[in-house]
Amino acid sequence: MNTPTHLIVSYALLEGQAATKKEKWSTIIGAFIPDAVIYFLFFYALVVGIPQRELWGSVYFQPGWQLAIDVFNSFPIFLAIAVVGYLIKRRWVILFAISACIHFVLDFFTHADDAHRHFLPISDFKFESPVSYWDPNYLGTLGSAIEIIILLVAVWWLWGRVQKKWSKILLLGYLAVAIGAFFFFSFIFSF
């Protein structure tokens, strides 16, 4: 799934648990952290001049980058972080780790040949889903449609719970962009 969808879904699932501003932000950051290395790689490629086709076709799949990405997408590592948060009595740490784990669950079912090793360091196993959130070779249109439905439900759930006007504008803005991108890419890949 796309990173902003992860942010909205994790926040929707955990907003009732996040009482303080610190806990709310840790939920959002926890949803983002699994993709942090990918964003770093993207900006690194821009700076050093790696073409996008090469970045996503080969550089992304290099063992060093895959290891870094997989460490940030590991259930055992983030469940250990949640346990530490519990032991030191820091709810924000627990919410951070659980939010990341929600991200992993959604990615587990929406990544095909770009799947992560979600059980590192215990196992190198990768579940290559038959449905991708983007790749038309793996039912990407269906994956995108499922993402839009999940996003609609999360936005609906949050709508009555967020009080600030800018939060509602942000929710509607991302929803519009996500739906527009879905139709744009569905049209492009249909030819």
The pLDDT value given to residue 85? 98
Q: How confident is the model at residue 2 (pLDDT cuts 50, 70, 90)?
A: confident
Average pLDDT over residues 51-70: 95
The pLDDT value given to residue 4? 86
Amino acid 116 reads: H
Helix ranges restricted to H, the chain: 3-14, 21-32, 36-48, 52-57, 63-71, 75-87, 91-108, 140-159, 165-189
The pLDDT value given to residue 191? 44
Average pLDDT over residues 49-66: 94
Residue 115 scores a pLDDT above 90: yes
Domain count, the chain: 1
Average pLDDT over residues 55-82: 97
The pLDDT value given to residue 188? 55
Higher-confidence position of 23 and 180 = 23
Amino acid 37 reads: V
d(CA 81, CA 94): 7
The pLDDT value given to residue 31? 96
Q: How confident is the model at residue 37 (pLDDT cuts 50, 70, 90)?
A: very high
The pLDDT value given to residue 136? 87
d(CA 75, CA 97): 9
The pLDDT value given to residue 156? 92
Least confident interval from 22-31, 52-61, 119-128, 168-177: 168-177
158 within 8 A of 8, measured Cβ to Cβ: yes
d(CA 144, CA 179): 9
In this structure, the number of other CB atoms found within 10 A of the CB of residue 27 comes to 26
Could you tell me the residue range of the domain that residue 63 belongs to? 3-189
| Residue percentage of the chain with pLDDT more than 90 | 68
What pLDDT, in 10s, does the model give residues 157-191? 999 888 889 888 988 988 888 777 777 666 655 44
The Cα angle at residue 131 between residues 130 and 136, in degrees rounded to 5: 110
What pLDDT, in 10s, does the model give residues 138-153? 998 888 889 889 999 9
